[in-house]
Amino acid sequence: MRNPDLIEKAFYDSIDEINELLPVEKKIIKSPDTIIVGQSSSLDSLLLLNLIILIEEKLKQSRITTESLVDHIMIIKERNVSVQMLADFISNSQEFRA
């Protein structure tokens, strides 16, 4: 599987896990456009951190990254960050290091 596909899978598998914690009306839609960071996100800060850690653990298992994703998220300046933006950010930071 290509890295972008693995990253997408890590995101969606993690969203599935977080959705188990949410009531039906707040469940996150698995789409590249879904906002997960920012005011339009339905996640509170704890669940957002939980989601990022889940994604990070999955990326580490897939050996896509060994770094702390939580630290990287902190430096994103955009107000509303979508699944796609975050996935691109991870993908680009990997390419940058490569």
Partner 1 sequence: MNPGPIRLAIISDTNCEVLAHYFQNLPGNSKIDVTTSPYGQTLEILLNPSHSFWSIHFDCALVMTQPELVSETLSKYNYQVTFNQDNLRQEVVKFASVILAIKKRVPTIIVTSWVLPFWKYNSFLTDYKKEGLQNSLLTMNYCLMKELENINGCYLINPLKWIDSSTGPTFSAKLWYVTKQSFSNCFFKNLALEICSSIGCLYGKSRKVIILDLDDTIWGGVVGDVGWNNLRLGGHDSVGEAYVDFQIALKRLKNSGILLVISSKNDEEVALNAIRNHPEMILKLEDFAAWKINWEDKSDNIKQLLKELNLGAQSAVFIDNSPVERNRVQVALPEILVPNWPEDPTDYLKALTGLSCFDKSFVTDEDLHRTEMINHENYRASLKKNAASFEHWLKSLQIKCFVEPLSSSNLNRVVQLMNKTNQMNLKTRRITSEELLAWCSQRDNLLYAVRVRDKFGDYGLTGIIGITKSKNKVVIEDYILSCRVLGRKIEETMLGMVCFLSRQLDCKEVEAQYLKTDKNHPCYQFFKTSGFKENSEDGLFVWDSIKDFPMPSQVELEWKH
Tokens for 27?
Answer: 């469940």
Restricting to residues 46-75, name those near partner 1 by CB under 8 A.
46-47, 49-50, 53-54, 56-57, 68, 70
Distance CA 59, CA 45 (A): 21
Site for partner 1 in 27-46 (CB under 8 A): 46
Q: How far is CA 20 from CA 10, 63, 66, 85, in A?
A: 16, 26, 27, 24
Identity of the residue, 10 or 54, whose beta carbon is nearer to partner 1 in the bound complex: 54
Shortest approach of partner 1 to residue 84 CB, angstroms? 24
Q: Which of 16, 22, 29, 80 binds partner 1 (CB under 8 A)?
A: 22
For residue 22, the minimal CB distance to partner 1 (Å) is 6
Tell me which amino acid residue 90 is: I
Residues binding partner 1 (CB under 8 A): 17, 20-23, 46-47, 49-50, 53-54, 56-57, 68, 70
